[in-house]
Amino acid sequence: MRILGIETSCDECSAAILSGPQDVTVNLVASQVDLHRIYGGVVPEIACRRHLEVINPLIDRALKQAGLSFRDIDAIAVSNAPGLIGALLVGVTVAKTLAFALDIPVYGVNHLAAHIYANSIQFGEFDFPLLALVVSGGHTSIIEMRGHHNFKILGETRDDAAGEAFDKVAKYMRLGYPGGPIIEKLAEKAEGKGLTFPRPMLKSGTFEFSFSGLKTAVINHLRSREGEKTTPAEVCRAFQDAVIDVLVTKTLSAAESTGIDRVLMAGGVAANRSLRNAMKSNLEKKGIRLFVPSPALCTDNAAMVACAAYYMNKAGIKSGFGLDAHATFDLENYSNENQG
């Protein structure tokens, strides 16, 4: 089954063609970062207007690069939830229109599921049960999977997502946008190791996260006299260390309490090299295998959307024109969305 994937949930406009579950023919990503940078974050209205301008030419380019025409496409997959509603609507409208005109199925894919299935592109079909840690700009969730598109959320963030905390700290420090890669780079230059920040919810006994308090601790430190004695690089490293410590500790305890020994990481923050290294070494010490896709498959892209749809089809989840765009949507029940 050859699937055209469409991704417009936030500030990346992407079109991809997947010729098989692990066969990415083309995966084009038109980033809007330059457009939003001056505002220090994504402006929803600007994002959806840009998606509208970019998506059709991007799909045409994807087909051209692949040497294919619309007639070679067997199904369309689109991120339809969660995300910025205006941005999602652009992708959903394009996907449904194309599918209707071509008389092929259209799959509405949950964006978190898409991030998880980025692992399948790189590592092949999942071996269940497994745990997935999704760490992105909008989500921080530990999810148990016992079959394709069978999700049980073990814990989520109560406030800011990990990526959101990276972005907000970078914005406060006037480092630029998006904050994650900038903080990662600056943290590498830190010399002193004395500074530490609190590890939120570390001992809560749950798999829930909270990064808003950590962000406030960083801001309070920067405003204090102590803040004047530390370099931006030290602050970035101490902040990043705190985020990583919480993510690693919670993932490890989820693996130990469920007895599941395979963990997938996914989402933009999973591109962070220090997090990848820390997660790998700590999980491997306990005999747990870690899978993390290449950084380009961690951040938003349409190939992961198409791959998730491939396994929706395999799991017998129906496609359907009843699908709509939703700013929020329950991952555990979203497959019903396609009916209709």
Which residues in this chain contact Zn ion in the complex, by CB under 5 A? 136, 300
Q: How far is the CB of 190 from Zn ion (least distance, A)?
A: 28
- In the chain, where does DSSP find H-type helix? 33-36, 44-66, 85-102, 111-123, 162-172, 179-187, 212-223, 225-229, 232-258, 273-285, 295-298, 302-314
Does residue number 272 form part of the binding site for ligand KG4 (CB under 6 A)?
A: yes
Stretch that binds ligand KG4, among 67-75, 178-186, 195-203, 231-239 (CB under 6 A): 178-186
Stretch that binds ligand KG4, among 92-100, 224-232, 266-274, 308-316 (CB under 6 A): 266-274
Does residue number 136 form part of the binding site for ligand KG4 (CB under 6 A)?
A: yes
What is the size of the binding site for ligand KG4 (CB under 6 A)?
20
Does residue number 269 form part of the binding site for ligand KG4 (CB under 6 A)?
A: yes
Does residue number 91 form part of the binding site for ligand KG4 (CB under 6 A)?
A: no
Structure tokens at 16: 């991809």
Backbone angles phi, psi at 42, to 5 degrees: -75, 130
> Of these partners, ligand KG4, Zn ion, none, which one is at the site of residue 175 (CB under 5 to 8 Å by kind)?
none
Kindly tell me which of 105 and 178 has the beta carbon lying closer to ligand KG4: 178
Q: Which of 120, 114, 95, 115 is nearest to 105 (CA)?
A: 95
Backbone angles phi, psi at 245, to 5 degrees: -60, -45
List the one residue from 184, 234, 241, 337 that touches ligand KG4 (CB under 6 A): 184
The rounded distance, in Å, linking the Cα atoms of 97 and 103 is 10
Does residue number 40 form part of the binding site for ligand KG4 (CB under 6 A)?
A: no
Give the single-character DSSP code of 247.
H
Kindly tell me which of 18 and 270 has the beta carbon lying closer to ligand KG4: 270
Beta-strand relationship, 106-110 and 130-135: unpaired
Torsion of CA 254, 255, 259, 265, to 10 degrees: 120
Backbone angles phi, psi at 281, to 5 degrees: -70, -40
Does residue number 163 form part of the binding site for ligand KG4 (CB under 6 A)?
A: yes
Stretch that binds ligand KG4, among 39-47, 161-169, 253-261, 278-286 (CB under 6 A): 161-169
List the one residue from 5, 86, 108, 137 that touches ligand KG4 (CB under 6 A): 137
Q: How far is the CB of 271 from ligand KG4 (least distance, A)?
A: 4
CB distance 45 to 21 below 8 Å = no
Q: How far is the CB of 184 from ligand KG4 (least distance, A)?
A: 4
Does residue number 300 form part of the binding site for ligand KG4 (CB under 6 A)?
A: yes
Q: How far is the CB of 157 from ligand KG4 (least distance, A)?
A: 12
List the one residue from 271, 303, 304, 307 that touches ligand KG4 (CB under 6 A): 271
Q: How far is the CB of 87 from ligand KG4 (least distance, A)?
A: 11
Q: Which of 86, 130, 84 is nearest to 111 (CA)?
A: 84
Residues 6-25 interacting with ligand KG4 (rule: CB under 6 A): 10
Q: How far is the CB of 171 from Zn ion (least distance, A)?
A: 19
Does residue number 246 form part of the binding site for ligand KG4 (CB under 6 A)?
A: no
Burial of 204-243, coded b for 16+ CB within 10 Å and e otherwise, reads: eeebbbbbbbbbebbeebbeeeeeeebebbbbbbbbbbbb
Backbone angles phi, psi at 149, to 5 degrees: 55, 30
Which residues of this chain interact with ligand KG4, rule CB under 6 A?
10, 136-138, 163-164, 166-167, 178-181, 184, 267-269, 271-272, 299-300
